[in-house]
Amino acid sequence: MVSIAVFMLVMGSVMACWKCVANGKIIAENAAAAAQRARVGIRAVEDALTTAEISVSLTSIPYYAFLTDTSGKFASLSVAAHPPPDFPGSGLFGDNVIRRITFDVENEGGTNNLIMNQSPLLEALNDRNTPYPITLARDVSIFMLEFWSVQDGQWETAFDPTNDFPAMVRVTLGVGHPANNADVPYDLIVRTVAMPCKPH
């Protein structure tokens, strides 16, 4: 009986240690996956902003409008841009190098994901056009935009002009979270992007 009791204590300790190791491995894998997704997502947003284009022509403004919404928990962004050839999804658009690119956080099956939609620029306002969506990052806990005000010398949380660019945009993306706190991301990336200086 004593031997059985000792054996059960040893096995209990071994199982507890194994459970800790298994849980630690799962947490590490989730954190690594979240970090990779965050890097992919933030890079796409950076590329869209640095290649953004705008037009001063009144007839072109609806196509080239710089649109942002920071009123909700998650920001949204829509720009006309000429992204690089290695930009996600570029191979599907052929010669349509200038596209309307939109970033939104959408709830899919109870998980908030950063979704990018693209459309050829001249078709972006066509209701019959179906944008091509790509999930850039899953389990997003933070997607925030801030805009540098040259006049005030500080970051602001809203940018109203649609036919102009702010001097800089600060993008914050956080993905993944521990089970006990959905608002604390596993990985948080902040990038400051200098916008193109002159409208096209």
Query: How confident is residue 114, by pLDDT bands cut at 50, 70 and 90?
Result: very high
Q: Is residue 8 part of a domain?
A: no
Q: Helix, strand, coil: what percent of the chain each, to 5?
A: 30, 35, 40
CA distances 38 to 9, 16, 71, 130, 143, Å, are 43, 33, 22, 26, 10
- Could you give the number of structural domains in the chain? 1
Nearest to 45 by CA among 96, 85, 87, 73: 87
Q: Is residue 23 part of a domain?
A: no
Query: Could you tell me the residue range of the domain that residue 155 belongs to?
Result: 30-194
Amino acid sitting at position 115: I
Q: Is residue 85 part of a domain?
A: yes
d(CA 154, CA 12): 58
pLDDT tens per residue across span 149-171? 999 899 999 999 988 899 999 99
Q: Is residue 5 part of a domain?
A: no
β 140-149/132-137 pair status? unpaired
Report the b/e string of 101-116 with b at 16+ CB within 10 A.
bbbbbeeeeeebbbbb
Q: Is residue 147 part of a domain?
A: yes
Helix (H) or strand (E) holding 59: none
Tokens coding 60: 């072109």
Q: Is residue 135 part of a domain?
A: yes
Model-wide pTM > 0.85: no
Three-state secondary-structure class, residue 90:
helix
Q: Are 131 and 102 in contact (CB under 8 A)?
A: yes
Q: Is residue 1 part of a domain?
A: no
Q: Is residue 15 part of a domain?
A: no
Q: Are 81 and 55 in contact (CB under 8 A)?
A: no
pLDDT tens per residue across span 56-88? 776 677 789 999 999 999 999 999 999 998 898
d(CA 15, CA 93): 54
Q: Are 178 and 184 in contact (CB under 8 A)?
A: yes
Residue 89 has pLDDT above 90, yes or no: no
Query: How confident is residue 2, by pLDDT bands cut at 50, 70 and 90?
Result: low
